[in-house]
């Protein structure tokens, strides 16, 4: 009998990442001070729309600097925060801090990046010619005053690629180019109907209740379909066979965690997608409310969610969760938390006032079901 190949590790889908973040550019071809000034100017132009991080090295480290007394030191500086670590940081450590940023700009004199922005500075021509191994994917070329085109030794690196060429002094144009890159990289939206609960309060499967002439989990999937690349019905593994085409099941791979596990399971399967999530116990949720949510989605935030009209807390189960939420959800779980609302309260979320507050109504018990049907709000 043929033997199956031995597999040491479980299968998982890796998110699309550079060395430090999903979107990163190493700036190279100028002095460290010029690179830092450019990075600061770009961040200032994009503030309020995109969160930009910066990765650099400190030349002062080349001189004798006193060794920190603490392994880790955090300082609340009132208008900011400072974190110092005595030991070495791996790329995995840096990704932990940088994943919340929409883009990371990197001092290419010290670190490599997945893509590059090359400055054509006559004073650094020879230096740049010695760093060609770092120029793996040039996205933009910035021409210093008096420079008309990239140098010949860069030409072959640019052949067959779409490379933007801009004057270095036109900071606003460079910032607009960067904003366009980030907008074009907005993660695709997939839909997830949360239907894997045990419905103990209702006494029957809430996803199968027919408020609108079909099982409500299917009705909700139909509402999400026009807004999403594809839609899945989240379920327990034993429910998957019950969900028939054209509807698609997404069984939990994080078990016994309720909606939290369903969300993690969705990100585990498609870590580069954002997820528009809806619970299956929302009989009054309508297409207009979902369109309102999708149109106001903020990819720079952890999630975009409605505020509850009752207590003003975020509604995590009628929300768009961005890919940057995935590591955050795992971190909360590692600390013993499995409430998606707590994540939104603690993290950077875009909160919206629902245009139709009744659309957020949950129905969890037979009494609530009977009251809703009696009110004539269902078909």
Angle between helices 258-269 and 325-334 (to 10 degrees): 130
* Architecture label for domain 189-374: Alpha-Beta Complex (3.90)
């889908």: which residue's tokens? 13
Instruction: Provide the H-helix boundaries in 6-86.
Output: 32-46
Radius of gyration for the alpha carbons in the chain, expressed in angstroms and rounded:
25
Q: How far apart are CA 330 and CA 260, in angstroms?
A: 10
Q: How far apart are CA 226 and CA 229, in angstroms?
A: 8
Domain boundaries, the chain: 24-59+71-184, 189-374
CB neighbours of residue 109 within 10 Å: 20
Instruction: Output the pTM of the full model.
Output: 0.92
**DSSP of 225-270, one letter per residue?**
GGGSS-EEEEE-GGGGGG--TTS-EEE-SS-S-HHHHHHHHHHHH-
Closest CA to 54 of 9, 3, 12, 107: 107
Joined tokens for residue 76: 């609340």
Q: How far apart are CA 328 and CA 322, in angstroms?
A: 11
Q: Which helix (H) or strand (E) holds 279?
A: strand 274-279
Buried b (16+ CB within 10 A) or exposed e, 207-228: bebebeeebbbbbbbbbbeebb
pLDDT of residue 160: 80
Joined tokens for residue 110: 């010290």
pLDDT of residue 4: 66
CATH code assigned to 24-59+71-184: 3.40.50.300
| DSSP 8-state symbol, 65 | -
pLDDT of residue 298: 96
Buried b (16+ CB within 10 A) or exposed e, 183-195: eeeebebbbbbbb
Residues 350/293, Cβ–Cβ less than 8 Å? no
């070495």: which residue's tokens? 88
Residues 279/308, Cβ–Cβ less than 8 Å? no
From first to last of its 379 residues, the chain has per-residue pLDDT tens of 556 666 666 778 999 999 999 999 999 999 999 999 999 999 999 998 999 999 999 876 555 566 678 988 889 988 888 888 888 888 899 999 999 999 999 999 999 999 999 999 999 999 999 999 999 999 999 999 999 989 999 988 888 888 899 999 999 999 999 999 999 999 999 999 999 887 778 777 788 888 888 999 999 999 999 999 999 999 999 999 999 999 999 999 999 999 999 999 999 999 999 999 999 999 999 999 999 999 999 999 999 999 998 888 999 999 999 999 999 999 999 999 999 999 999 998 999 999 999 999 888 887 777 777 766 555 5
């Amino acid at each position: 009998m043929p033997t199956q190949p031995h597999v040491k590790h479980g299968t998982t889908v890796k998110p699309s990442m550079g060395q430090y973040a999903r979107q990163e550019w190493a700036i190279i071809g100028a002095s460290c001070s010029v690179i830092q000034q450019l990075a600061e100017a770009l961040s200032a132009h994009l503030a309020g729309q995109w969160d930009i991080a910066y990765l650099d090295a400190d030349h002062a480290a080349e001189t004798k600097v006193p060794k920190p007394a603490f392994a880790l030191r955090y300082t609340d500086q009132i208008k900011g925060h400072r974190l110092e670590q005595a030991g070495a940081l791996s790329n995995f450590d840096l990704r932990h801090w940088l994943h919340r940023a929409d883009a990371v700009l990197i001092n290419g004199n010290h670190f490599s990046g997945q893509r590059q922005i090359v400055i054509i500075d006559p004073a650094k021509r020879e230096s740049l010619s010695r760093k060609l191994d770092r120029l793996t994917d040039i996205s933009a070329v910035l021409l210093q005053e008096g420079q008309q085109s990239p140098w010949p030794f860069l030409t072959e690196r640019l052949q067959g690629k779409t490379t933007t060429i801009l004057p270095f002094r036109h900071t606003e144009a460079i910032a607009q180019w960067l904003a366009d890159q980030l907008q074009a990289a907005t993660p695709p939206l997939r839909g997830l109907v949360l239907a894997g609960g045990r419905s103990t309060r209702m006494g029957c499967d809430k996803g199968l209740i027919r408020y609108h002439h079909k099982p409500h989990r299917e009705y909700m999937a139909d509402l999400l379909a026009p807004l999403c690349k594809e839609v899945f019905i989240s379920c327990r593994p034993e429910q998957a066979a019950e969900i028939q085409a054209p509807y698609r099941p997404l069984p939990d791979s994080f078990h016994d965690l309720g909606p939290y596990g369903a969300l993690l399971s969705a990100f585990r399967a498609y870590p580069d997608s954002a997820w528009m999530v809806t619970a299956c116990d929302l009989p009054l949720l309508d297409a207009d409310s979902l369109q309102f949510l999708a149109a106001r989605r903020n990819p720079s935030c952890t999630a975009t969610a409605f505020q509850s009209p009752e207590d003003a807390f975020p509604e995590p189960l009628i929300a768009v969760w961005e890919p940057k939420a995935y590591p955050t959800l795992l971190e909360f779980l590692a600390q013993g938390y499995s409430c998606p609302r707590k994540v939104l309260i603690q993290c950077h979320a875009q909160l919206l006032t629902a245009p139709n507050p009744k659309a957020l109504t949950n129905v969890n018990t037979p009494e609530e079901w009977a009251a809703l049907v009696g009110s004539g709000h269902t078909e």
